[in-house]
Amino acid sequence: MSHRKPGNTMKVLTDLRQILGEQAVLDSQTLSERAAGIWRQSESLSGIALARPDSTEGVSATLAYCYQHGIPVVTQGGLTGLVHGADTSDDALILSLERMNRIETVQPNQRTLTAQAGVKLETVQLAAAEEGLIFPLDLGARGSATIGGNAATNAGGNRVIRYGMMRDMVLGVEAVLADGTIINALNGLIKNNTGYDLKQLFLGSEGTLGVITRLTLRLFEAPKSRHMAFAATDSFAHVKELLRHMDQHLGGGLSAFETLWSNYYTLVTSPPARSRPPLPQHHAYYVLLESQGADVDRDRVLFESALEAALEQGLITDAAIAQSESECQAFWDIRDDVEQVFVGGHAFVFDISLPIDTMEGYVSAVAERLADTPAQQFWVFGHVGDGNLHLAIQIAEGPSDANQRLIEACVYEPLSGCKGAVSAEHGIGLEKKPWLPISRSPEEIRLMKTLKTALDPKSILNPGKVVDP
């Protein structure tokens, strides 16, 4: 559905300021002084205005007004996304939940936390820690990403293998529909089998079905021990065997299983990168292992004995064990130094998901296809324990649309043969929308469009993203 640009922008500003208050609505000139995203500092936001309600009722009134007048609305959180899922246009209203940033309750015995959607992920983590609990979702952008944005994109992070995706950590949501209707589904129960699970309509929908305003999150007891190691192995077959071996021997304590292909490990442990290699750089694969438990001494013995057994069985050829919390953090710093892929040229970064048994063949297929493109570097790393790979491809030429589509085809088309997904945790947005049919059947896409039409009949919510009605 096309939208008409309001004929009187000043009237929209006046009306919204009457609804929300003078300081709660920024005009187009003021919002143009804001960056379009964490990774897009040189670009400015554009739109009719930026509305900043401080309550669910304010969000409801704003959406009701936009629905009545046919004004598209793009909801924004911390602007840390990578797939252009929060891009705006001159005829759209930007809805920011930055003033809805309060943690409302923490219930240690129930192990839940209720917060407004504009709260930063790191703030939630710290609030949980004060009660001896954890909110296990963790991302490099924890200080900028908002909890509402995490839910709207179904964020994953570093410990999915143990705790699951964001979907698994949200017990209930409050959301506002396109016409301003408030849906209060702030359930705080782990088990609630009373009909449709309505929160799932909004989790991962990227703001296209409703605006998440408040969430009840599931917390977990904080582990008392953490043990980490970098292990090296010379075949991907051994990577797969090592995953099962460590999971079996750690009795459910395995919390991360990150795999770095050799050239990515070399990249992030060589100058100008700050980290230095804990293991020599000549191995084919490196695995970052983390376990969490409740008994420091017992867990260390268990962790080290599992590594020793892996060494004896030939699953690994070498290992470096972290001896302190600072060394644990240093290991994570190696894995997370993704910025190195941008040194020396433009890089396209992808996150895809596929069965672990198909990973080695898939990476080889992508490398073969890239040989006929301007690609000059190809790095692979990721959350192999939960089937998620990150690919970074650096090109010698500029980042043209033609080059991007060419590289995307090399990455996404081989996924159709291994039942993979074009997005593991970053969403669809605009960037991956053309490739959605690789991962979703025509029947699934039709059902998505049916849901979009039912909940947003005028298609004002984040229009053009994910699917068209």
Pairing of the two strands 93-96 and 49-51: parallel
pLDDT of residue 245 exceeding 80: yes
- Contact call for residues 254 and 316 (beta carbons, < 8 A): no
Residue 37 φ/ψ, nearest 5 degrees: 170, 165
Report, at the CATH architecture level, how domain 344-423+434-450 is classified.
2-Layer Sandwich (3.30)
Whole-number Å distance between alpha carbons of 94 and 30:
12
Q: What's this model's pTM, rounded to 2 decimal places?
A: 0.89
Q: How many CB atoms lie within 10 A of CB 367?
A: 14
pLDDT at 328: 96
The sign of the torsion formed by the CA atoms of 95, 23, 147, 391 equals: positive
Q: Tell me: the pLDDT tens digits for 64-73?
A: 999 999 999 9
pLDDT of residue 40 exceeding 70: no
Phi-psi region of 291 (alpha: psi -120 to 50; beta: other; left: phi over 0): beta
Write down the domain spans for the chain: 9-99, 103-221, 225-338, 344-423+434-450
pLDDT of residue 81 exceeding 70: no
In one-letter notation, the amino acid at residue 125 is: Q
pLDDT at 119: 96
Mean pLDDT in the chain? 91
What average pLDDT does the segment 82-99 reach?
Answer: 81
Residues of the chain above pLDDT 70, percent: 94
Q: Tell me: the pLDDT tens digits for 263-284?
A: 999 999 999 999 999 999 999 9
Q: Dig out the tokens for 285 from the structure.
A: 């694969």
More confident residue, 89 or 422: 422
- Contact call for residues 284 and 235 (beta carbons, < 8 A): yes
pLDDT at 37: 52
Report, at the CATH architecture level, how domain 9-99 is classified.
2-Layer Sandwich (3.30)
pLDDT of residue 44 exceeding 70: no
pLDDT at 158: 83
Q: Dig out the tokens for 368 from the structure.
A: 């073969």
Residue 305 φ/ψ, nearest 5 degrees: -70, -35
Report, at the CATH architecture level, how domain 225-338 is classified.
2-Layer Sandwich (3.30)
pLDDT of residue 120 exceeding 70: yes
pLDDT of residue 443 exceeding 50: yes
pLDDT at 426: 83
Name, in order, each residue with C-beta under 8 angstroms of 414's C-beta and a sequence gap of 6 or more.
362, 365, 366, 369
Do the domains 103-221 and 225-338 sit in the same CATH topology, yes or no? no
Nearest CA to 431 among 147, 39, 81? 81
pLDDT of residue 338 exceeding 80: yes
Report, at the CATH architecture level, how domain 103-221 is classified.
2-Layer Sandwich (3.30)
pLDDT at 173: 97
pLDDT of residue 211 exceeding 90: yes
Distance of CA 22 to the CA centre of its chain: 34
pLDDT at 427: 84
Reported confidence tier of residue 86, pLDDT bands at 50, 70, 90 = low
Nearest CA to 161 among 264, 81, 235, 250? 250
pLDDT at 39: 57
Alpha helices per DSSP H over 397-457: 401-412, 436-439, 442-455
Distances (CA, A) of 437 to 373, 396, 450: 24, 30, 16
pLDDT of residue 189 exceeding 50: yes
Reported confidence tier of residue 136, pLDDT bands at 50, 70, 90 = very high
What average pLDDT does the segment 79-102 reach?
Answer: 80
Whole-number Å distance between alpha carbons of 435 and 424:
13
pLDDT at 262: 97
pLDDT at 4: 47
pLDDT at 2: 44
Q: Dig out the tokens for 180 from the structure.
A: 């301003």
